[in-house]
Structure 1
Amino acid sequence: MPELRQDPVSERWVIIATERAKRPSDFKPPHKEKNGNASCPFCPGHEKETPPEVLAFRAANTEPDTPGWQVRVVPNKFAALVAGGEVASESKGMYRTMSGTGVHEVIIEGPDHDTFFPDLTPEHAVQVLKAWRQRYLQLERDKRLQYIQLFKNHGPTAGASLEHPHSQLIATPLVPGAVNEEMARIKAYWQEKERCLFCDLMKTELETGARVVAFNKEFLAFCPFASRFPMEMWIMPRRHQAGFGTCNDEQLEQLAAILQDILGRLKQAVNDPPFNLVLHTAPLRREDSIYHWHFELLPRLTIVAGFEWGTDMYINPTPPEIAAQSLNEISVSPEEEG
């Protein structure tokens, strides 16, 4: 029979539709030809087609906005929010407005148009994460900004308008409502249990083991109990930390390793599906909060339609236990730590 499951963090209900259960292999999309890099603004030699870089890890004696870079960060040419000016808000009767002050950047993850994150060298993957952290810490100093959202869209149906491997960062002048709601639930749990909800969640997942996909010294990746999508995974630091900016170099190395691992498994299991990878972190300058930062990996293997939009309940045809089992059947490199 179908089963309704509640996520302990969001308190959202999910329908695990076992009556129409599917194994992850049932979702494999057909192979699609790539458009190529001839006109790609992110490829080497096309640096002048993007705004000037704000950060780059590049070879010695190479000039900014020229070839020779390994990771490059530029403002988004079509930014959702723009830097400059003070944050101003205004009430108009029952409506409120706020100036669109913020930051929208693109992290170009490598010069190769066709080498995606799981296929980078380990050293290069760590460089990508160091770029994430460096921009996070730099923008944290801007008192106008309240929240930083790091995210990666992979594939057109997940919102990626360009094939070249990249991720994005948007810094907002307010804390998004969903973040405030999540923090309120975590605070209530802390007040009742005097423990972190996420730390308890990881302990439970490690004890049961049925939904664990990978782990190493610093991170745990698992399919959440109330997964919204087939093969959804959460990646959490095993030490309690409120904000992503507190990650040290050793943690970034371990995070890069586990991200390459699970993204490689996902690519093999369901033929490189579209996905969104999103950061959940504490609001800026609140690193002492009771929050526990993490990433959520959301494969776009099912369609969000009328029922989901109307109820905020998701229908998932693949139980997370089956998804985790399928991902664990994928061979991994011998360097993986257990």
Structure 2
Amino acid sequence: MPEFRRDPVSGRWAIIAPERGKRPTDFLLPEENTKEGRCPLCPGSEDLTPPEVLALGRPEEAPPNSPGWKVRVVPNKYPALIPGEIEKETEGLYERFSGAGVHEVIVETPEHGKSLVRFSPNELALVFEAYRLRLEELARDGRWRYVLIFKNRGARAGASLSHDHSQLVALPLIPELVKIELERSRIYHERNGECLFCKLVKSEQNGPRRICENERFLAFMAYAPRQPLETWIMPKKHRSDFLDHFDENLEALCDIFLKVFGKLEAILPGLPYNFVLHTAPLGSAPLPYYHWHFEIIPCLTRVAGFEWGTGAYIVPLLPEEAAAFLRDISP
């Protein structure tokens, strides 16, 4: 059974997941694994995954767990967390509780080797629709406080399969980074009477880090990035939850996603990256001080001793120069 463990000095949580089957020698494998076998995420390989929890685009007459789908969601075969009851325990300085949660894989396309940048707007819309449906379903469970949706693309970014997919993890706690965002933006709102994210959108919309925008969304380089080309996508109007006005935002969200990834792919084909969706905790009333947003983090420099020791990142590229370069690229 996985478990959460809290560091007594920093307050940082770790997930210990022995079910994932790692041994110390497993970490000596080369970064790029070129072995190719039967892909468990391709149509026709449905028997290689746990039974699906959602499939979009498959003909109604087709049975579950059969080909014909356009987006498919399955439980992770090697989950970091597994569904169960939440049991807390304290041993002196140490605090832990059972690793209860949900870990799922969103298979974004039936086409092996097709990357997000080559998706049509309709194909990408189905991926976001899957996010919506799973967020709504997991919110009804009652055990989970937060759902993190993320994507690892490329071995350097942590992807173990080359077939494009994203993942979600439902947690019984609010992740520390999200908690910091919520707390800092709440304090700013109390002190200044306005939303920090709304202020950020206004500042970046006409600033040197702006990459592109449409009527509903803005994409800009992070002011203090963790990696070169770190990009944030944010709604222009105040929206604290990804599900707020989902249908009316969907077309514009697909548009700006494809523009941003088109620009990134044009300068660095095959770019390894992670993206994460930060949204309000499950069950929250609309928050006047928070915006949901995507953070896109390319994997271009190594995290080493300085970063681990300080929590600060050394980035050898000015965000303003990177943004100016990307603005001039037509994907």
In the TM superposition, 1:142-291 aligns within 5 A as 142-208=141-207, 210-289=208-287, 290-291=289-290
Post-superposition Cα deviations, 1:274-327, rounded to whole Å, max 9, x if no partner, equal 100011111111142232110100001111111111111111111011111221
Q: Hey, what's the Cα distance between the residues in 2 that align with 1:226 and 1:59?
A: 43
1:82 — aligned with what? 82
Calculate the TM-score normalised by the size of structure 2. 0.87
Bigger RCO (CA 8 Å, 6+ sep): 1
Gaps of 5+ in 2: 1-30
Q: Hey, what's the Cα distance between the residues in 2 that align with 1:278 and 1:162?
A: 18
- Report the CA distance between 1:33 and its aligned residue: 10
2:42 — aligned with what? 43
Aligned residues: 299
- Report the CA distance between 1:246 and its aligned residue: 2.0
The answer to whether the Cα contact below 8 Å between 2:43 and 2:110 also exists between their aligned partners in 1 is yes
- Report the CA distance between 1:173 and its aligned residue: 0.6
- Report the CA distance between 1:256 and its aligned residue: 1.5
SS of 1:145's equivalent in the other structure is: coil
SS of 1:45's equivalent in the other structure is: coil
In the TM superposition, 1:288-303 aligns within 5 A as 288-289=286-287, 290-303=289-302
The answer to whether the Cα contact below 8 Å between 2:58 and 2:67 also exists between their aligned partners in 1 is no
Gaps of 5+ in 1: 1-31, 333-338
SS of 1:263's equivalent in the other structure is: helix
Q: Hey, what's the Cα distance between the residues in 2 that align with 1:153 and 1:276?
A: 5
- Report the CA distance between 1:197 and its aligned residue: 0.5
In the TM superposition, 1:120-139 aligns within 5 A as 120-139=119-138
Q: Hey, what's the Cα distance between the residues in 2 that align with 1:157 and 1:318?
A: 20
SS of 1:253's equivalent in the other structure is: helix
The answer to whether the Cα contact below 8 Å between 1:69 and 1:111 also exists between their aligned partners in 2 is yes
SS of 1:236's equivalent in the other structure is: strand
TM-align CA RMSD: 1.7
Post-superposition Cα deviations, 1:123-174, rounded to whole Å, max 9, x if no partner, equal 1110010001110111011111001100000000111000000000000011
The answer to whether the Cα contact below 8 Å between 1:243 and 1:287 also exists between their aligned partners in 2 is no
The answer to whether the Cα contact below 8 Å between 1:150 and 1:168 also exists between their aligned partners in 2 is yes
SS of 1:316's equivalent in the other structure is: coil
Percent identity between the two aligned chains:
47
SS of 2:206's equivalent in the other structure is: helix
